[in-house]
Amino acid sequence: MAFDYDLFVIGGGSGGVRAARVAAAGGAKVALAEDNRMGGTCVIRGCVPKKIMVFASSYREGLEDARSYGWDVKDGPFDWPAFSGRLKTELDRLEGVYRDLLKGSNVEIFDLRARLTDPHTIELSDGTQKTAKHILVATGGHPVRPDMKGAELGIVSDDIFNLKELPKKLLIVGGGYIACEFACIMQGLGVEVTQFYRGAQILRGFDDEARGLIAEMMNERGIKLHLGTNIVDMAPAGEDHTASWSGTGTDAAMGAPAAEVAVRAPAAGTGGPVWVKATNGSEQVFDQVLFATGRSPNTRDMGLEEIGVEVGRRGEIVVDEYSQTAVPSVYAIGDVTGRVQLTPVAIREGMAFVETVFNGNPTPIDHDLIPSAVFTQPELGTVGMSEEEARDQEPVEIYCTSFRPMQSAFAGRPDRVLMKLVVSQATRKVLGCHIVAPGAGEMIQLAGIAVKMGATKEDFDRTVAVHPTMSEELVTMKTPMRVA
């Protein structure tokens, strides 16, 4: 059977674009469909704009530090419209880069929604149909609101980048990395931030000691973090709403006055003033409520199950180690598979797909020992197992130190950093490395190489320290803090 294309990619994010380009460079006839903006979550509404906002939010503290170092600088208001305008210009530029890369690789682009009608046929939203020998689904995911009354009053992470003005008071619901990153970002931009998380500690799944320090530093910076807390009820704020705090201690410290809280005019953009009642009995009005309570794969109404592709209970496409679905001609990579939801992983999966399908070299996906970073302030960088995971597997030694880094100590700030190694007693291999510090994301990329190579604690010990740096502590810790 003659097909229109050798490969049809559905989804113009980092993974899909990379797979399309590499396959086309090898001589395949390739098309790609994207019904939103080229670049996907990472470039348009995720990693890139978020990291730019991280940079922007760090300058307020930088100005405070500058005065401690002798610079005569004055504080000024943050100009959100000016910043967001430049941000949109940069995202437009990056989207153009992605389009140019595809065109330069002779990939045909369809700015349309696509769905599957059989194992080799794609139907576009304009009614046309295309056939392909291989189909790659790389449609990513989207943020979801919780299933609760009034959830439509809140915004999600995609909406943050399109706000016309910053809220004065923001409630963030959630305790994962997206919630914590935006809590730090918005606080750094001058927003009064309250965060609710129903669990006992934020950043579930990360090392307990590391996430505990992150929570402590977030509170220290003025984020009103409330654990074991969730929303009971929420409604549009109105003149008849009064909001007072009935709690004491931590709840009273959330900053609401004892009398009525003034209801502000609706913020321009998505959402608006919302009255919220919490499980701790407190009530307050927020200018915005941001739900950072999870993401779901973009698999709805794509015809997947109708043609035999297996979809999991969360909507994720089920694939094997080669990213192949139950339908041999259909593959899937990236967040839509629900495996490891990181942009570099999607790109690696796209490369492995091309190697397997077009280069005749079956390449399984390696999801082991992937370094990652959480861009809170300070950042968290991690690779390998947490202390809790490792001690459940085998006896381990824990090498750990926490201290005030030179830069912030001189400025008089109470910030602390953490350097931690989890070491196997039997093999002496470093099973996990966890860093909480400014620039932890940069550090963990390099530490990740050593851990991936199977470095032992003695390999770290033989490495000469770079002084004076925070990271030198990774190679100077000689005595374990504890065994587990």
Least Cα distance to 16 among 331, 288, 295 occurs for: 331
Least Cα distance to 132 among 274, 262, 8 occurs for: 8
Q: Which helix (H) or strand (E) holds 98?
A: helix 80-104
Least Cα distance to 54 among 468, 377, 451, 484 occurs for: 377
**Distance (Å, rounded) from C-alpha 151 to C-alpha 144?**
10
Residues 208 and 387: beta-carbon distance below 8 Å: yes
Least Cα distance to 323 among 304, 305, 346 occurs for: 346
Q: Identity (one letter) of the amino acid at 66? A: A
Helix, strand, or coil here: 320?
A: coil
Both tokens of 27, joined, read: 């001589």
Residues 440 and 392: beta-carbon distance below 8 Å: no
Q: What is the DSSP letter of 402?
A: E
Cα-atom radius of gyration of the chain, to the nearest Å? Answer: 24
Answer positive or negative: Cα dihedral of 182, 186, 187, 192.
negative
Both tokens of 291, joined, read: 């739900």
**Distance (Å, rounded) from C-alpha 369 to C-alpha 364?**
15
Q: Is 381 left (phi over 0), alpha (psi -120 to 50) or beta?
A: beta
Facing residues of 39 across strands?
Answer: 13
Q: Is 467 one of the annotated active-site residues of the chain?
A: yes
Helix, strand, or coil here: 431?
A: strand
**All residues at 6 or more sequence positions from 194 whose CB lies less than 8 Å from its CB, including other chains:** 169, 170, 171, 172, 223, 224, 226, 254, 284, 286
Q: Which of 120, 142, 226, 467 is catalytic?
A: 467
Residues 361 and 444: beta-carbon distance below 8 Å: no
Which residues are the active-site residues? 467
